[in-house]
């Protein structure tokens, strides 16, 4: 049985956990002081050795990403923290920044020192104003305590941190769209190459890292590589936040070593809600192909999840029991992608527009047999053809749901209506759709 390994979440239950004093009382900023005494190359090497992989979803080795920066040419280089967490189901960076923002700030300071950055940016999703305020306050506190600013702790290292709120576009979580948005431009993904490591923010070498990746750095420095590598699997080292939502008794963030299984996590979460069974779930948010109960024992690490046909993604485990209509869920997700498609490339812009219409028809019982094939064909026209990964992600839930639940799509078509009682799946007081819509419009 795997145990929880709270590191980032270690202080979440402390009194006023977001305060610098609380963080320091729990050993905060010890790592920064240690790092400032280390050779920069040693810090990068430590992160490389730790096997820390990008926690934003793609799982690219963090230390290697830092290593892609060209040699220092005297000009500025930047660290940009991607805190634009917007994926349906994903809920790990926002609680981290809400409850323990200082762990991110410390991570930013260490990472910046290691890569030679004197101005770091945190691009936070604009809708979460409370988190934005927490971050602003955390940065202010860190400046006041000398963890940021000029000549940090007498090391001669200067660092400014700017917290920037996005304007409400999912696409700005794509690192190059994020950079454009941060520069004040329209947030659309950039053509690569050049990659951000060579020409990123303001066309300067830039490291773009996820919140959780950066926040993991202080612990690696403080407790050492061996401690970190003692957790996880052979190629997926360390711990991570697993966000359980949906039909479980105790949804929330569970920080555990990579390689834990859903069965174990569901146990920790008190099981599927009483009287129900697991039907399907997402291993890494709505952009990753869905899993079913046959994947309950798949180790949640990058390799195993990949081998089973999905992606570890952001470890956003959305749990759905047998009361849930898969067509309905997939339609809602697809509506999200249609709404969030930036519009730059044809497959994603037009494809999500089309998929939504087909799915709505199928869900409403007006679909035809040809629609299922059309969904698959349209997904094929998007997958691997779109400019960035948003388009690919939009197809995952559709093709995987048809793979596992084709008969349910067919049932909608054959019966001319959704066979599910939607109120049975709801975790809240559920009114008839007509009344709910009326209220929403009121």
Q: Which residues bind other proteins (CB under 8 A)?
A: 169, 171, 186, 188, 191, 338-347, 349-354, 357-358, 361, 370, 374, 377-378, 380-387
**Among residues 31 and 382, whose Cβ is nearest to other proteins?**
382
Kindly tell me which of 102 and 356 has the beta carbon lying closer to other proteins. 356
Side-chain half-sphere exposure of 213, counting CA atoms within 13 A: 30
256, β-bridge pairs: 240
Give the residue with the Cβ less far from other proteins, 62 or 341.
341
| Least distance (Å) between residue 361 CB and other proteins | 7
Q: Which two tokens stand for residue 226?
A: 């061996």
CB-based burial of residue 370 (10 Å sphere; 0-12 exposed, 13-18 middle, 19+ buried)? exposed
For residue 344, the minimal CB distance to other proteins (Å) is 5
Burial of residue 38 (number of CB atoms within 10 Å: 0-12, 13-18, 19+): middle
The strand pair at 239-246 and 316-321 is best described as: parallel
Of the pair 280, 336, the CB lying nearest other proteins is at 336
Choice between 86 and 341, CB closer to other proteins: 341
Residue with tokens 């798949």: 298
Closest contact distance (angstroms) between CB of 375 and other proteins is 11
Q: With respect to other proteins, which residue has the nearer C-beta, 30 or 385?
A: 385
Three-state DSSP state, 160: strand
What minimum distance in Å lies between the beta carbon of 380 and other proteins?
7
CB of 349 to other proteins, least distance (A): 6
DSSP 193-242: SSPHHHH-GGGS-EEEEEHHHHHHHHHHHHH-HHHHHTSB-SSSBSEEEE
Decide if 122 contacts 208 (C-beta within 8 A).
no
As measured in angstroms, the least distance from the Cβ of 245 to other proteins is: 25
């Amino acid at each position: 049985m795997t145990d929880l390994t709270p590191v980032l979440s270690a202080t979440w239950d402390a009194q006023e956990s977001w305060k610098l004093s609380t963080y320091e009382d729990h050993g905060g900023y010890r790592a920064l002081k240690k790092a400032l005494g280390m050779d920069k190359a040693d810090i990068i090497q430590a992160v490389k050795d730790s096997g820390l992989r990008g926690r934003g979803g793609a799982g690219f080795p963090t230390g290697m990403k830092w290593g892609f920066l060209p040699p220092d040419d005297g000009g500025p280089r930047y660290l940009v923290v991607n805190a634009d967490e917007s994926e349906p189901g994903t809920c790990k960076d926002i609680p981290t920044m809400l409850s323990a923002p200082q762990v991110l700030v410390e991570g930013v300071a260490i990472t910046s020192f290691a890569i030679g950055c004197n101005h770091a940016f945190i691009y936070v999703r604009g809708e979460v104003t409370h988190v934005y305020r927490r971050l602003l306050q955390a940065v202010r506190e860190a400046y006041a305590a000398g963890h940021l600013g000029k000549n940090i702790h007498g090391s001669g290292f200067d660092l400014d941190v700017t917290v920037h709120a996005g304007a409400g576009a999912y696409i700005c979580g794509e690192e190059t769209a994020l950079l454009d948005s941060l520069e004040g431009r329209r947030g659309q993904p950039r053509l690569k190459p050049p990659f951000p490591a060579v020409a990123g923010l303001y066309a300067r070498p830039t490291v773009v890292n996820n919140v959780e990746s950066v926040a993991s750095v202080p612990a690696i420095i403080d407790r050492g590589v061996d401690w970190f590598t003692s957790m996880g699997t052979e190629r997926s080292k360390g711990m991570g936040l697993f966000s359980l939502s949906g039909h479980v008794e105790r949804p929330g963030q569970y920080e555990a070593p990579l390689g834990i299984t859903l069965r174990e996590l569901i146990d920790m979460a008190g099981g599927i809600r009483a009287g129900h069974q697991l039907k399907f779930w997402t291993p890494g948010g709505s952009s990753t192909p869905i899993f079913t109960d046959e994947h309950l024992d798949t180790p949640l690490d990058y390799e195993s999840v990949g081998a089973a046909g999905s992606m570890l993604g952001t470890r956003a485990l959305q749990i759905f029991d047998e009361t849930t209509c898969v067509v309905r869920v997939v339609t809602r997700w697809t509506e999200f992608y249609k709404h969030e498609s930036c519009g730059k490339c044809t497959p994603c812009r037009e494809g999500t527009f089309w998929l939504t219409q087909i799915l709505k028809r199928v869900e409403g019982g007006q679909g035809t047999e040809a629609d299922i094939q059309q969904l698959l064909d349209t997904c094929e026209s998007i997958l691997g053809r779109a400019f960035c990964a948003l388009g690919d992600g939009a197809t995952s839930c559709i093709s995987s749901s048809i793979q596992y639940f084709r008969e349910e799509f067919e049932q909608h078509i054959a019966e001319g209506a959704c066979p599910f009682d939607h109120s049975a799946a709801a975790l809240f007081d559920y009114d008839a759709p007509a009344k709910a819509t009326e209220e929403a419009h009121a």
